[in-house]
Amino acid sequence: MIVLRENEPGINANSAEIAKAITSRIGLEPRKKGSTEDMHKPLLELYERSKKANREKKPEEAIITVEEMALHAGITRQTMYDYLKRWLDLNLIVKTSYIKDSKVVIGYRLNGPTLESAFEKSQQRIRNNLETTMKLIKELQKTIKNEKISKSVSNKEMTNIPEDEAENLTEETSETDESAEEKE
């Protein structure tokens, strides 16, 4: 679940304060009271590593393990796994692996060469979700309208049928419904 908040950094804010505002605004801050205050630090580290990887042309330098992210955030590895789901849902980071000293290392990196490009992918994910939701809302309105029209037409037809025929029709409908339930 993505939680968007209204949070602004103060005037003349430093990078840590701006990063805190960003993680809060896009729902990456812990939701439990008394949790870590340092969830912005993995974001800053991901950015620094991404810059270094691009500068040195070594893509593996951009990758950070869960253990390292947890260390930067001041939480346990398991708790960091819980938070990573939100980062991945937003499409801000991607899971990746590389080989180091004959071992496969699994970690995460920004979903782009810069914070800005990674956030643009998050923005697109949210936009796509909202567009799909809007289509569903339109479909819901149309379906509700059609159901009401169908119901009123059905009620109108029932009122035009003589009473004894309406009772027979109601009994037939009940029998059909019962036999359908038995088949299930």
Q: What is the pLDDT of residues 41-61, one digit of tens each?
A: 998 999 999 999 999 998 888
Average pLDDT on 166-181 reads: 49
**Terminal-to-terminal C-alpha distance of the chain:** 35
Percent of the chain with pLDDT over 90: 29
Q: Domain limits of the chain?
A: 15-113, 131-183
CATH of domain 15-113: 1.10.10.10
Per-position DSSP letters for 27-48, written without gaps between them: T-S--STT--S-THHHHHHHHH
pTM greater than 0.85 (yes/no): no
Tokens of 66: 């869960």
Per-residue pLDDT, 138: 93
Per-residue pLDDT, 181: 46
pLDDT at 175 over 70: no
Please, is 162 exposed, middle or buried when counting C-beta atoms within 10 Å of its C-beta (0-12, 13-18, 19+)?
exposed
